[in-house]
Amino acid sequence: MKKRIVLIGPGRTGQSIARLLYEAGHEFKAVISRDRGRAVSAARFIGAPGAGTTDLSRAREGEIVLIAIPDDHIEAMAAALRNEGYLDPGAILIHFSGILPAAAMKGEEGMPRALAIHPLQTFADAVIGVSTLPGSPFAVEGDDALIPLAEELVSDIGGFPFRISGERKPLYHAAACVASNYMVTVIVVARQILAACGFSEEEAFHILTPLLRGTGKNLAALGPEKALTGPIARGDAKTIASHLQALAGLDPDLQEIYRVLGRKTVEVARRKGTLDADKGEEILKILK
């Protein structure tokens, strides 16, 4: 069933999700931002020109109110909507935080009804988001009776939903940060190490890019254990020692990161079955 929707916070996430919901047939009554120009531009991108506004009271027009703002401000926004009477009595609030439970938007009376829908995806801007969100997983959580609605909205976006409890969201979000944000940081570390060979950072990243693409394809096709290659998977202890010796002349954090990741890689190699117990212990001693 198509819904009347209001979006508060037309950033990358909000615009991408709203555009896909609009294309699925939902009606956007208002796109609200503190910056009128941004609200108007976002409404045009979504497909609802004329819906852009700075008037928070227009949240009353939505059966569903999407709150797509930074995590730290979600509770305050929900409280403002409740306290100012800016919500239709039957309205459903939805936020897109990966860590906050849906209940964070409720008042002492346990109202309004609330859902949390978190896309397990990364995108640099709204245009990219429109292309990457379909086919992505979405964590859904909130009022039990509303979970089918959350799942329906995710399907309208083109994603696939999975359920998670509010209590487990911090662990879920930590996993997402490691998989996405920290992967970027690991690439920065690799770039910094390669740049020490005499390349510029731009040249180093360019050299590494095909390897990153190949690794991503292997991970997607084979899974982590089968995708693992390299000296630890082969049990090349001398190579690991040589790496550490070379890293000793660089930022100490780089060697420490190498040691920590190496120890975890020993675990992966053991699960893969290519690293025997003796070689594993030898490498762990080197990596201490």
Q: What is the per-residue pLDDT for 124?
A: 78
Domain count, the chain: 2
Cβ(266)–Cβ(232) under 8 Å? yes
CA of residue 138 relative to chain centroid, distance: 10
Q: Is residue 172 part of a domain?
A: no
Give the side-chain half-sphere CA count within 13 A for 166: 15
Q: Is residue 49 part of a domain?
A: yes
Q: 135: left (phi > 0), else alpha (psi -120 to 50), else beta? A: left
pLDDT tens for 54-68 read 999 999 999 999 999
Give residue 109's pLDDT band: very low, low, confident or very high (50, 70, 90): confident
Domain limits at 67?
4-167
Q: Is residue 158 part of a domain?
A: yes
Domain of residue 86, CATH code = 3.40.50.720
Give residue 120's pLDDT band: very low, low, confident or very high (50, 70, 90): very high
Q: What is the per-residue pLDDT for 1?
A: 81
Give the side-chain half-sphere CA count within 13 A for 2: 10
Mean pLDDT of 84-98: 96
Residue 286 has pLDDT above 90, yes or no: yes
- Same domain for 88 and 134, yes or no, is yes
Give the tokens for residue 104: 């964070």
179 residue type, one letter:
A
Q: What is the per-residue pLDDT for 19?
A: 97
Give residue 108's pLDDT band: very low, low, confident or very high (50, 70, 90): confident
- Same domain for 96 and 218, yes or no, is no
Mean pLDDT of 151-166: 97
Round to whole Å and give the CA distance between 226 and 204. Answer: 27
Round to whole Å and give the CA distance between 67 and 46. Answer: 15
DSSP string, 171-182: HHHHHHHHHTHH
